[in-house]
Chains A and B, each alone.
Chain A
């Protein structure tokens, strides 16, 4: 993501922490709690089953973004191979023996 290369490391790290509440919401509402007791049928399925199906689709989308963001690698302090841009600039110097 080219926008990230402009932001400072600090800002990026702060944004990384947003993934924690994001995951919490993704897990918590995979169960359609707001539809508790609802018995509406839409297109052949109870509507809460549609919620669940859509939610899992959303999960795949956001999981893909999370993986691409490289947030986890930054959190662990490792330099990911290809997942984050601008990674090479932050690599410590003096490792010229590496290919």
Chain B
């Protein structure tokens, strides 16, 4: 009975989201600009929530509470700094400038913008290829999260692969039909939904255990070190490198970076920027504190299970637990469908059309995009069945990979002297080095290279420095090519 109810809630949610997508599809035009960017007509509320919902995925909803449960509530501070402050600043530094440039020249993707500026198809394809490479583990992460969520909710009646497959099928269907407008609309619903549900859950559980003081008191009794700031996993090196790699990485995520092109006006971007820290807190405080408080609750969290559903099942009725899991699946889907949509635009516009088939018609391109989405999602689904790490580990790998793109892009946006060779070297060399580090952990024939050094400092941070040094250094010793045009990135004058 409860099983049927739980599944009913989850499926009911998916159906509502699909209905929204279909309405969006009916008002859509068939151009690429509309499909990917909703004709650059997204307003503040929708932009804010679409970015919010996209940003906050399985990584936040399950990975975050799990980490707070295991290592302490400092994760709240780490993520708050990342998303609330550092990302907000980068939103302005990178996002606003990109919006101005994109609005002027009609760019749809990051690769397209850079390729045009430096007159280089190779750079365009390189940026798109690198982005798609790191997008893969992040799509996979959502499928892993969905699989685990349904296992937790149904007590294993729906197997791990079943949950992952359900979400995969749904998101392919959705993205192929709706495009950016549908994605943005459902993201808004999902963002509001997640925010409300997580607050209700927190109030419910905190009052069940006897209030805020009692919840924190019980947590400190079980884990006294949770009350003290720092220590354990949270070394200064860990905090700083996690904050920097994730915040810079997020700006280069295709689905986030493409959001920088969709605002209807500069005002929209500005308002979103100012509201960001508060919105982030509203979600992180209840979600991560629930994870930390769970350390003091009489609950048994099995190995590999997510702590949030366990706590919910203990303290709230089954239908409510199902609603929260539906909210979490919503988070994963909005992350995934945005990622797939942006990924497909990177693939068709920056790889397929310039490199493979320049003569393709719009219609053909649209079909290639949709087939690309399906293939990418299915491959990620297959990879997710192997469960190559925890949600936080897989997510962190992807974030760091993207973070290596950020400094060369900032350099190109603000320093007219940047050259094509500088960009290619600054992007390619750190990427190759980081890929070697990541692959060395997977391939058993080679020794595993360390991911962190000297007490929690991430090697990706060092590689970020390398990317900046290479971009600037190589630019200084090479001349701009005849095809490059620095004036493409100037926004002064009108």
Measured in the bound complex, the distance between the Cα atoms of B226 and A25 in whole Å is 26
- Check if B76 sits within 8 Å of A49, measured CB to CB: yes
- Check if A60 sits within 8 Å of B100, measured CB to CB: no
- Check if B492 sits within 8 Å of A78, measured CB to CB: yes
Q: Which residue of B lies closest to A73 (CB)?
A: B266
B89 at the interface (CB under 8 A from A): yes
With A27-B85, A44-B216, A53-B285 as contacts: A60 and B274 at CB distance below 8 Å? yes
- Which residues from chain B contact A76 at a C-beta distance below 8 Å? 97, 100, 491-492
Binary flags per residue of B74-90, CB closer than 8 Å to A gives 1, else 0: 00111011001110110
With A38-B228, A46-B73, A49-B76 as contacts: A56 and B278 at CB distance below 8 Å? yes
A-B contact pairs, 30 of them (CB 8 A): A26-B89, A27-B81, A30-B86, A31-B78, A37-B229, A37-B230, A37-B231, A38-B228, A39-B224, A39-B227, A39-B228, A39-B229, A44-B212, A46-B73, A46-B227, A48-B77, A56-B277, A57-B278, A60-B274, A67-B271, A76-B100, A76-B491, A77-B491, A78-B100, A81-B265, A81-B266, A81-B267, A82-B267, A83-B266, A83-B267
A9 at the interface (CB under 8 A from B): no
- Which residues from chain B contact A45 at a C-beta distance below 8 Å? 212, 216, 289
A6 at the interface (CB under 8 A from B): no
Measured in the bound complex, the distance between the Cα atoms of B242 and A31 in whole Å is 12
- Check if A63 sits within 8 Å of B88, measured CB to CB: yes
- Check if A44 sits within 8 Å of B97, measured CB to CB: no
Measured in the bound complex, the distance between the Cα atoms of B239 and A36 in whole Å is 12
Q: Is the interface of B mostly helix, strand, loop or mixed?
A: helix
Measured in the bound complex, the distance between the Cα atoms of B33 and A20 in whole Å is 35
8 Å CB contacts to B: which residues of A59-97? 59-60, 63-64, 67, 72, 76-83
Q: Nearest chain A CB to B225's CB is how many angstroms away?
A: 8
Measured in the bound complex, the distance between the Cα atoms of B267 and A77 in whole Å is 17
Counting contact residues on chain B (CB < 8 A from A), the size range is 35 or more
Measured in the bound complex, the distance between the Cα atoms of B80 and A52 in whole Å is 8
8 Å CB contacts to B: which residues of A32-46? 32, 35-39, 41, 43-46
B304 at the interface (CB under 8 A from A): no
With A27-B81, A53-B285 as contacts: A60 and B228 at CB distance below 8 Å? no
- Which residues from chain B contact A64 at a C-beta distance below 8 Å? 274
A17 at the interface (CB under 8 A from B): no
Measured in the bound complex, the distance between the Cα atoms of B96 and A28 in whole Å is 22
Q: Nearest chain B CB to A17's CB is how many angstroms away?
A: 15
B243 at the interface (CB under 8 A from A): yes
Question: Interface of A with B (CB < 8 Å)?
Answer: 23, 26-27, 30-32, 35-39, 41, 43-46, 48-49, 52-53, 55-57, 59-60, 63-64, 67, 72, 76-83
- Check if B273 sits within 8 Å of A67, measured CB to CB: yes
- Check if B85 sits within 8 Å of A59, measured CB to CB: yes
Task: List 4 tightest A-B contacts by C-beta distance, closest first.
Answer: A77-B492, A44-B212, A39-B228, A30-B81
Q: Nearest chain B CB to A74's CB is how many angstroms away?
A: 10
Binary flags per residue of B203-247, CB closer than 8 Å to A gives 1, else 0: 000000001110110001000101111110000000100010000
B92 at the interface (CB under 8 A from A): yes
B493 at the interface (CB under 8 A from A): yes
Q: Which residue of A lies closest to B273 (CB)?
A: A63
Q: Nearest chain A CB to B244's CB is how many angstroms away?
A: 10
- Check if A56 sits within 8 Å of B80, measured CB to CB: yes
- Which residues from chain A contact B220 at a C-beta distance below 8 Å? 41
- Which residues from chain B contact A78 at a C-beta distance below 8 Å? 100, 491-494
- Which residues from chain B contact A26 at a C-beta distance below 8 Å? 85, 89
B275 at the interface (CB under 8 A from A): yes
- Check if B96 sits within 8 Å of A31, measured CB to CB: no
Binary flags per residue of B451-494, CB closer than 8 Å to A gives 1, else 0: 00000000000000000000000000000000000000001111
Question: Interface of B with A (CB < 8 Å)?
Answer: 73, 76-78, 80-81, 84-86, 88-89, 92, 96-97, 100, 211-213, 215-216, 220, 224, 226-231, 239, 243, 265-267, 270-271, 273-278, 280-281, 285, 289, 491-494
- Check if A36 sits within 8 Å of B229, measured CB to CB: yes
Contact of A56 among B228, B267, B280 (CB under 8 A): B280
Measured in the bound complex, the distance between the Cα atoms of B489 and A77 in whole Å is 13
Contact of A30 among B80, B289, B494 (CB under 8 A): B80
With A27-B86, A76-B491 as contacts: A37 and B273 at CB distance below 8 Å? no
Q: B73, B211, B266 — which one has the most chain A CB atoms within 10 A of its CB?
A: B266
Q: Nearest chain B CB to A52's CB is how many angstroms away?
A: 5
Q: Nearest chain A CB to B110's CB is how many angstroms away?
A: 19
Measured in the bound complex, the distance between the Cα atoms of B277 and A36 in whole Å is 22
- Check if A48 sits within 8 Å of B492, measured CB to CB: no
- Which residues from chain A contact B216 at a C-beta distance below 8 Å? 41, 44-46
- Check if A56 sits within 8 Å of B92, measured CB to CB: no
Measured in the bound complex, the distance between the Cα atoms of B273 and A64 in whole Å is 8
Measured in the bound complex, the distance between the Cα atoms of B265 and A58 in whole Å is 25
- Which residues from chain B contact A23 at a C-beta distance below 8 Å? 89
Q: Nearest chain B CB to A87's CB is how many angstroms away?
A: 13
- Check if A30 sits within 8 Å of B492, measured CB to CB: no
- Check if A49 sits within 8 Å of B85, measured CB to CB: no
Q: Nearest chain A CB to B10's CB is how many angstroms away?
A: 32
- Check if B92 sits within 8 Å of A60, measured CB to CB: no
- Which residues from chain B contact A35 at a C-beta distance below 8 Å? 229
Q: Which residue of B lies closest to A34 (CB)?
A: B229
Q: Which residue of B lies closest to A77 (CB)?
A: B492
Measured in the bound complex, the distance between the Cα atoms of B275 and A59 in whole Å is 9
